[in-house]
Structure 1
């Protein structure tokens, strides 16, 4: 289910997903800054409910996510996460460099080839070196080891096992 660069209109996408609204947008990175343009579209008739642009330092990615989620919630009259859940989300923040390594690791991990999984290991290990407190780096490492073992892509050295 890929919608990036698609010719499908929002009504078709909404029907395929079984949703009343679609959040569409783009993400641009300029140095240590992130700009997100987002718009909420009603799928029944293609009406734009709202559109906005958010710009933050890469270290504040959670703030952009929270702002967009709150705007969607307000537009749809939804009650969003409690402060406790927001605190958990903020705990997943990391440095831009560690996040980049993590995202690169996830990208190659999803290719699920022996070479890609070995590359993923390197990215996740680098993520952990950059930010030992960033739990998703360890999750990526565990996921990669699980696939390497499950699919028999290689036997780990005893020190790695």
Structure 2
């Protein structure tokens, strides 16, 4: 199985990099795990709706450039469907069983994801109503992917 996370922006914080590297190492027993960083658009604090749409469109194009037709895509979106860790683990297992061995997760930048990316997604997933920095979300998502594989392997890690 191939798991990819596409994130907007460069991860700068050493502690996030270390945490993600740890989960990447753990995941190597179960899948090929990859993180792709796409450039974020520089944007001042106050933008008009038109400027925000332009920023999101440019970031969206960069994201879509890294998604192949055969990939099953989850878009992380606040309005996406919330899942339990067990339900998420079952989804991952079912995708692998039914021919979707390439799974991609997309984390947008500070303005979110463009409609084109959301349309390409096979599913939207939410980790709740909280707004989290996209850098932190990469770490949380990496852990939940690892947790899914541990649940599926019957490991006590999940408890």
TM exceeds 0.5?
A: no
Q: Which has the higher contact order (CA 8 A, sep 6+)?
A: 2
TM-score normalised by the shorter chain: which range applies?
under 0.3
TM-score when normalising by structure 1? 0.25
Answer 1 or 2: which has greater helix percent. 1
